Structure 1
Amino acid sequence: MKKFILLFAMVCFLTSCNVTESIVFNENGSGQFLITYEMGEAMKVFEQSMGGGKSDSEKEEGGETMDTTMVFADIMETYKDSVAALPEEKRLAMEAVKDMFMNMKMNEDEGVMNFGIGLNFNSIDDLKDINEKIRKAQSLNSQGDQVGSMKENSPLGNFFGSENSKTGYILTENSFARVTQIDIPEGAAEDAMEELFNEEDESNQQFMDYFENAFYNVKLTFPKPVKSIDVEGAEFSKDRKTVTYRINWIEYLKNPLVLDANVKFVDE
């Protein structure tokens, strides 16, 4: 039961939401990386599990709204004395992500709760350690330790926030590639999948219900039109400079490489 509660909480935090990985490239190779967790549905599920519904007075007052962006470098400068007093692990995490930002958008009445972590980069080389930076940024959240504990008690730990999973990006004059590298002991992935998708485990079926409606979205915007992409079902903007695709979480769990893509640009 304890394991089930931990897994359920992790699902609500990490997988009952849609995730969007967005990269916008400028002509000079700079751009912005942003990964957004859309947790509105998870928030509704949580409210329902706690009894759901609001009183008439609460409805009249309206729910909480928030739209804020926090730049780590600014926080470190403004609260430098407090940062210096942090435990070494937290302080080093702040130093590692000082060039990143976090944003939060919330509208309780509309069921919106989006949490984003981003980086304004000068070149694609700045993205080589993006997975590690995101993990460190998440660890600064007050719930970071709880989520870490949840992952340790879950067969999903190999794929969510694991140091063994890295995403690389390659940009040339004529192409772009998203490449996932997973370095785990031989047989570990198979064992994790066998445990996760064990149909005899009733709790697993509940997770599958959540996963069915959860997707990982990738949105790529380039300064030049896209000629082709080797992802079935990908959609293009009218000018073909933006391409988007999404993968169901179940398919992603079975094979994280399904998020990878090779893009060819239109010859100019």
Structure 2
Amino acid sequence: MKNLFLGLAVVVLMCVASCSVNERIVFNEQMGGTYTTAIDMSSILQIASEGRPVDTNKELKKKDTTIVFSEILELYKDSIAALPTEERLKIERLKDFTLNMKMDETTSEFYINVEKRFSEFSDIERVAYEVSDVLNKAKTESKNPDEAPNPADDLMSLDKVLYAYDGTTFSRRDPARAKEQVQEGMEELMDEETEEQSQGEEPLGMEMMMDQMMGEFTSQLEQSYMTLEYVFPRKVVSVSQEGATVSEDGKTVIFKVDWKTLMDDKEGLLNDIDIVLEKE
């Protein structure tokens, strides 16, 4: 039974690593601008459709939803005002966000786009924490209330990073946690597998199947990316991140890394990124 569970767990982890995330911030002269997180989870629907029995009577899901949080806050302002202070403030911090979600099982498309317009840099210092609340809304919109919890729901979450700006240097702080969560889960499951075999249970061909699944897992990791893109009003002097590219006009920094590299990362590629700009 644990062998079966291990196999299923690897499939889930393949799904977790099969999404691409694009984090983009465009700054204006006042260091206000637009923050966007785009998540492409189409490969998850593709994996699900390949393993799902054909059911001609089942209607495939198709959704295209846009949520403007300022409109929701205005619509329910009286109810929100009556909430406890901490909960009310948490909701009010979402007023500048817009969420768009497109899911089509017939074409295996699944995209989530979260956008926030901000007037000053301090508005996005902890934006990743707020985006998590927005994505919780996406989880609700993407499933029926009667459906069981989906292990892949963890895809709809972001690592809690912090942003800073001191007048010349833009910084992104704290590492991605996704690779650690996947590694920890795999290590725990492999420990269970080792203990089970030591008690005399035969692997029953599981080793060959697991090798094949892990090969597919690695392929999925190498084809899924985390992309950071930052557009500034002034030219970039230097970037601490090796492998990052700067546009021809010198104002845009792009860093793209596949999830396989992140999982193998020993130096902390996303730990501390500093981008120095020309002085005003």
TM-score (norm: length of structure 1)? 0.69
Provide, for residues 127-164 of structure 1, a one-character-per-residue CA deviation record: whole Å limited to 9, x for no partner.
2322221222222332699357965xxxxx9xx958xx
Worse overlay, 139-148 or 218-227: 139-148
Correspondence for 2:269 among 244, 255, 258? 258
Alignment partner, residue 129 of structure 2: 132
Name the CA shift for 1:232/1:150 in 2 (closer, same or farther; >3 Å).
same
Instruction: Return the alpha-carbon distance in structure 2 between the equivalents of residues 103 and 236 of structure 1.
Output: 29
Query: Structure with the greater relative contact order (CA < 8 A, sep ≥ 6): 1 or 2?
Result: 2
- Equivalent of residue 27 in structure 1, options 29, 35, 51: 29
Structure-2 change in CA distance of 1:25 and 1:47 (3 Å): same
Equivalent residue number for residue 154 of structure 1: none
Q: Percent identity?
A: 25
Q: Partner of 1:146 in structure 2?
A: 149
Q: Structure 1: where are the runs of 5+ without partners?
A: 152-156
3-state SS of paired residue (2:160):
strand
Give the equivalent residue in structure 1 for 2:112: 115
Long gaps (5+) in structure 2: 195-206
Q: How many residues align?
A: 246
1:96-144 deviation digits (Å, cap 9, x = unpaired): 4233221224577765432022322222222232222122222233269
**Quick one: structure 1 residues 193 and 110, their matched pair in 2 at CA, closer, same or farther if it must change by over 3 Å?**
closer
Aligned to 1:98, what secondary structure does the other structure show? coil
Question: 2-side partners of 1:22 and 1:103: how far apart?
Answer: 16
Q: Answer yes or no: is 1:75 the counterpart of 2:72.
A: yes
Query: Is the CA contact 1:21–1:34 (under 8 Å) kept in the aligned structure 2?
Result: yes
Whether contact under 8 Å (2:12, 2:152) holds in the other structure is: no
Indicate if the aligned counterparts of 1:19 and 1:36 stay in contact, CA closer than 8 A: yes
Indicate if the aligned counterparts of 1:15 and 1:249 stay in contact, CA closer than 8 A: yes
Report the Cα offset of residue 218 of structure 1. 0.3
Letter of the 1:252 partner, please give it: L
Q: Which is further off, 206-215 or 100-109? A: 100-109
C-alpha deviation, 1:9, in angstroms: 4.2
Aligned-partner Cα distance in 2 for 1:147–1:65: 18
Tell me which structure has the larger Cα radius of gyration: 2
Secondary structure class of the residue paired with 1:125: helix
Q: 2-side partners of 1:233 and 1:245: how far apart?
A: 7
Task: State the superposition RMSD in angstroms.
Answer: 4.5
Q: Does 1:216 align with 2:226?
A: yes
Under a length normalisation based on structure 2, what TM-score does the superposition of the two structures give?
Answer: 0.67
